A and B are shown apart, each in its own frame.
Chain A
Amino acid sequence: QKEVEQDPGPLSVPEGAIVSLNCTYSNSAFQYFMWYRQYSRKGPELLMYTYSSGNKEDGRFTAQVDKSSKYISLFIRDSQPSDSATYLCAMSADSGGYQKVTFGTGTKLQVIP
């Protein structure tokens, strides 16, 4: 079993829809949770960064972390065609004074105009 599980999709939604992307994990030591967006032929870019449980909002994006369920989510409101990309969750734990990051395999999202 992988440490981080993420549904690969693809997920197709109409423009304006609310998108929900999710990851589950097994390592209870994870403390830092991130979401990256990756466009085709580009490297991933950091979208959201949260520490421990709770919600964080940035514009149309909201990240949620539920450590008791080992479950994290990214919500995208009013989705746009420019949101079409692969979304990767990532999480890390302090390991000897630094963080070791583990990525999900990514969910491919297509927003249809």
Chain B
Amino acid sequence: KAGVTQTPRYLIKTRGQQVTLSCSPISGHRSVSWYQQTPGQGLQFLFEYFSETQRNKGNFPGRFSGRQFSNSRSEMNVSTLELGDSALYLCASSSDRGRGYTFGSGTRLTVV
């Protein structure tokens, strides 16, 4: 059974640019959540999508957005990148009311 796939694994972007990250969940999982992980703050919740609808959102500015497609694949977008956006971005999928998440390996974003 394939796991959660995130692409790309690494990204280097310049301040002010925008970036799109992709996540393919485990087959059959309809819930996809996104987290930002930094050494100082740990895992911080960005948003969750279920059946193409955002049903929960964390406390991040509007520069962070996401969407989910009919095949449950999800993308997140960060516009007008800032140095502080440098982090590991993790995608996690779960079956509805499932027992915990399965995480991908993440996309490491560096903003210079």
Can you give 6 contacting A-B residue pairs, CB < 8 Å? A32-B100, A43-B105, A98-B31, A101-B101, A105-B42, A106-B43
Residues of B within 8 A of A (CB): 4, 31, 33, 35, 41-43, 45, 48, 50, 55-56, 90, 92, 96-97, 99-106
Q: Main SS of the interface on chain A?
A: strand
1/0 per residue A72-92: CB within 8 Å of B? 000000000000000010100
Q: Report yes or no: B99 in contact with A49, Cβ–Cβ below 8 A.
A: yes
Q: Which residue of B lies closest to A34 (CB)?
A: B100
Partner of A106, one of B42, B50, B56, B97: B42
> B103 CB to closest chain A CB, in angstroms?
3
Chain B proximity of A30: nearest CB distance (Å) = 14
* Closest CB in chain B relative to A8 CB, distance in Å: 9
B50/A43 in contact, CB under 8 A: no
Does B105 contact A103, Cβ atoms closer than 8 Å? no
Chain A residues proximal to chain B, CB less than 8 Å: 32, 34, 36, 41-46, 49, 88, 90, 95-96, 98-106
Kindly identify which residue among A45, A88, A101, A105 contacts B41, using a CB–CB cutoff of 8 Å.
A105
CB pair B102 A88 closer than 8 Å: no
Residues of B close to A41: CB separation below 8 A: 105
Besides A46-B101, A106-B42, 5 new A-B residue pairs in contact (Cβ under 8 A), listed by A number: A43-B104, A43-B106, A98-B96, A99-B97, A102-B45
Residues in A whose Cβ lies below 8 Å from that of B43: 44, 88, 103, 105-106
- Chain B residues whose C-beta falls within 8 Å of the C-beta of A102 in the assembled complex: 45
Distance in Å from the Cβ of B38 to the closest Cβ of chain A? 10
A53–B44 Cα distance when bound, in Å, is 26
A101 contacts across to B, CB distance below 8 A: 33, 45, 101
**Which residues of B have CB within 8 Å of A44?**
43, 90, 101, 103
B104 proximity list for chain A (CB < 8 A): 43
Whether A45 contacts B103 by the Cβ 8 Å rule is: yes
